[in-house]
Structure 1
Amino acid sequence: MGLSIRNWHLHWPGGAIEGWIDSERDQWPLWVPVAVGAGIVTWELQGNGALWAVTGLCAALILIAYITGRQSSLMAIIKIAAFCFLAGFLAIYFRSAAVGTPPLKKMWIGEFYGQITKVEHITARDIVRFELATGGHAGLPEKVRVNLDAEKYRPEFTSGAVIRMKARLVPPAGPSVPGGYDFARRAWFDGLGATGTILGNVTLYRPSSHKPTLGNVRRALSAHITSQLPPGSGSIAAALATGDRGAISDDDAEAMRNSGMAHLLSISGLHVTAVVGAIFLLMSRILALFPRIALRFPVPLIAAAVAAMGAIGYTLLTGSEVPTIRSCVAALLILAALAMGRDAISLRLVAFGASVIMLIWPESLAGPSFQLSFAAVSTIIVLHESRWMQNFTRAGQQDGLIRKMGRSIVILLITGAAIELILAPIAIFHFHKSGLYGALANVIAIPMTTFLVMPFEALALTFDLVGLGAPFWWVTDISLRAILALAHGVSAAPGAVSMLPVMPQWAFAAMILGALYFGIFRRRARYFGIPLFLIGLTAMITAPYPDILVTGDGKHLAVVGSDGKLALLRDRAGDYVRDTLRENAGVKAEPVAITDWPGAQCTADACVITIDRDGRRWNILALRSRYYIPSMELAVACKRVDIVVSDRWLPRSCKPKWLRADRESLAKTGGLTFYLSNAFSGPRVESVVAAGHHHPWIIAGK
Structure 2
Amino acid sequence: MLWVPICVVIGALVYYSWRSEPSVTWLTICVAALAGAALLVARLPSKSRPLPGFLIFLAGVVLFGFLYSAFITHTFRSTPVKAPIDRVMVEGWLEEMSGSGSSIRYLIDVQAVSGMPASLTPEKVRLTVRGDSDLKPGRFIRCYASLRPPPAAILPGDYNFAQQAYFQKLGAVGFVYGRCNPGRLSSAPSFMNGLEYRIHAQRRSLAERISQTNHSSRGSALAAAVMTGDRSFLSEKDEENLQASGLAHLLAISGLHMGLAAGAFFFVLFRLLALVEPLSLRFPVQKLAGVGAILAITVYLIFSGASISTQRAYVMLGVALLFGLMDRPVVSFQALAFAMFVVVLLSPWAVTTPGFQMSFAATAALIAAYRHRLKSEKFFNSSGLFGRFREFAYGIFLTSWVAGLATLPFALYHFDRAAPLGFIANLVVMPIVTIASVPLASITAILLPFGLEGPSLSLLARSLDLVLGLAEFFADDRGLAELFSLGRIPLFSAILASAALIIWIVHGKSYLFRAAIISAIAILIWVFTPHPFLVYDGVGHLFVRSNKHWMQIDTGVRGLDPLRYVDVPDMACETVCSVAVGKNTQVSYSPTLGDLVFQNGENITILPSDMESQTGFSVFASGRDAEIRYHPDLNCRPWSLKWPDCRE
Please identify, of 281-290 and 262-271, the stretch whose mean Cα deviation from structure 2 is larger.
281-290
Aligned ranges for residues 270-349 of structure 1 at < 5 Å?
270-349=256-335
Please identify, of 317-326 and 78-87, the stretch whose mean Cα deviation from structure 2 is larger.
78-87
Out of 28, 31, 34, which is 1:52 matched to? 28
Indicate the SS of the match to 2:355.
helix
Q: Distance in 1 between matches of 2:113 and 2:627?
A: 47
State the percentage of identical aligned residues.
23
Could you say which residue in structure 1 is the equivalent of 2:137?
A: 158
Could you say which residue in structure 1 is the equivalent of 2:435?
A: 451
Indicate the SS of the match to 2:443.
helix
Could you say which residue in structure 2 is the equivalent of 1:620?
A: 589
User: Contact between 2:225 and 2:231, CA under 8 Å: does it hold in 1?
Assistant: yes
Indicate the SS of the match to 2:622.
coil
User: Contact between 2:94 and 2:106, CA under 8 Å: does it hold in 1?
Assistant: no
Superposition deviation, residue 641 in structure 1: 5.2
Superposition deviation, residue 196 in structure 1: 0.9
Could you say which residue in structure 1 is the equivalent of 2:162?
A: 184
In structure 2, do the counterparts of structure 1 residues 132 and 539 end up closer, same or farther at CA, with 3 Å as the change threshold?
Answer: same
Q: Distance in 2 between matches of 1:150 and 1:113?
A: 16
Paired letter, 2:60: F
Q: Distance in 2 between matches of 1:102 and 1:500?
A: 40
Aligned ranges for residues 347-496 of structure 1 at < 5 Å?
347-386=333-372, 394-397=378-381, 401-402=385-386, 404-406=388-390, 408-460=392-444, 462-463=446-447, 468-495=452-479
In structure 2, do the counterparts of structure 1 residues 110 and 530 end up closer, same or farther at CA, with 3 Å as the change threshold?
Answer: same
Aligned ranges for residues 219-258 of structure 1 at < 5 Å?
219-230=204-215, 232-258=218-244
Could you say which residue in structure 2 is the equivalent of 1:677?
A: 622
In structure 2, do the counterparts of structure 1 residues 518 and 174 end up closer, same or farther at CA, with 3 Å as the change threshold?
Answer: same
Superposition deviation, residue 164 in structure 1: 2.8
Indicate the SS of the match to 2:497.
helix
Indicate the SS of the match to 1:306.
helix
Could you say which residue in structure 1 is the equivalent of 2:601?
A: none
User: Contact between 1:218 and 1:317, CA under 8 Å: does it hold in 2?
Assistant: yes
Aligned ranges for residues 504-583 of structure 1 at < 5 Å?
504-522=490-508, 524-554=510-540, 556-561=541-546, 563-570=547-554, 577=561, 580-581=564-565
Q: Distance in 2 between matches of 1:327 and 1:96?
A: 25
Paired letter, 1:265: L
Could you say which residue in structure 2 is the equivalent of 1:264?
A: 250
Indicate the SS of the match to 2:591.
strand
User: How does the TM-score come out when normalised to structure 1?
Assistant: 0.80
Q: Distance in 2 between matches of 1:461 and 1:610?
A: 55
Q: Distance in 2 between matches of 1:290 and 1:612?
A: 73
Aligned CA-pair RMSD? 3.3
Superposition deviation, residue 345 in structure 1: 0.7
In structure 2, do the counterparts of structure 1 residues 608 and 258 end up closer, same or farther at CA, with 3 Å as the change threshold?
Answer: closer
Q: Distance in 2 between matches of 1:614 and 1:477?
A: 48
In structure 2, do the counterparts of structure 1 residues 698 and 64 end up closer, same or farther at CA, with 3 Å as the change threshold?
Answer: farther
Q: Distance in 1 between matches of 2:384 and 2:308?
A: 43
Superposition deviation, residue 74 in structure 1: 1.9
Indicate the SS of the match to 1:119.
strand
Q: Distance in 2 between matches of 1:404 and 1:538?
A: 42
How big is each residue's C-alpha offset from its partner over 1:522-562, in whole Å with a ceiling of 9 and x where there is no partner?
474553222112111222344433211223421x322112x
User: Contact between 1:301 and 1:339, CA under 8 Å: does it hold in 2?
Assistant: yes
Q: Distance in 2 between matches of 1:428 and 1:419?
A: 14
User: How does the TM-score come out when normalised to structure 2?
Assistant: 0.86
How big is each residue's C-alpha offset from its partner over 1:52-94, in whole Å with a ceiling of 9 and x where there is no partner?
3433333334444455576732244134313321221122112
Q: Distance in 2 between matches of 1:247 and 1:381?
A: 34
Provide structure 2 residue ranges, at least 5 long, that are not aligned to the other structure.
189-193, 599-603
Q: How many residues align?
A: 622
Could you say which residue in structure 1 is the equivalent of 2:121?
A: 141
Q: Distance in 1 between matches of 2:137 and 2:509?
A: 58
Superposition deviation, residue 263 in structure 1: 0.9
Q: Distance in 1 between matches of 2:401 and 2:312?
A: 25
Out of 44, 54, 66, which is 1:77 matched to? 54
User: Contact between 1:445 and 1:483, CA under 8 Å: does it hold in 2?
Assistant: yes
Could you say which residue in structure 2 is the equivalent of 1:105?
A: 82
Provide structure 1 residue ranges, at least 5 long, that are not aligned to the other structure.
1-28, 584-589, 595-601, 624-636, 644-655
User: Contact between 1:178 and 1:672, CA under 8 Å: does it hold in 2?
Assistant: no
In structure 2, do the counterparts of structure 1 residues 314 and 558 end up closer, same or farther at CA, with 3 Å as the change threshold?
Answer: same
Q: Distance in 1 between matches of 2:557 and 2:433?
A: 37
In structure 2, do the counterparts of structure 1 residues 58 and 102 end up closer, same or farther at CA, with 3 Å as the change threshold?
Answer: farther
Could you say which residue in structure 2 is the equivalent of 1:40?
A: 12
Q: Distance in 1 between matches of 2:509 and 2:248?
A: 36
Superposition deviation, residue 319 in structure 1: 1.8
How big is each residue's C-alpha offset from its partner over 1:208-230, in whole Å with a ceiling of 9 and x where there is no partner?
32567111111111111112123
In structure 2, do the counterparts of structure 1 residues 42 and 579 end up closer, same or farther at CA, with 3 Å as the change threshold?
Answer: closer
Could you say which residue in structure 2 is the equivalent of 1:587?
A: none
Please identify, of 378-387 and 242-251, the stretch whose mean Cα deviation from structure 2 is larger.
378-387
Superposition deviation, residue 400 in structure 1: 5.7
Select the structure of larger CA radius of gyration. 1
User: Contact between 2:88 and 2:146, CA under 8 Å: does it hold in 1?
Assistant: no
Paired letter, 1:439: F
Q: Distance in 1 between matches of 2:43 and 2:240?
A: 57
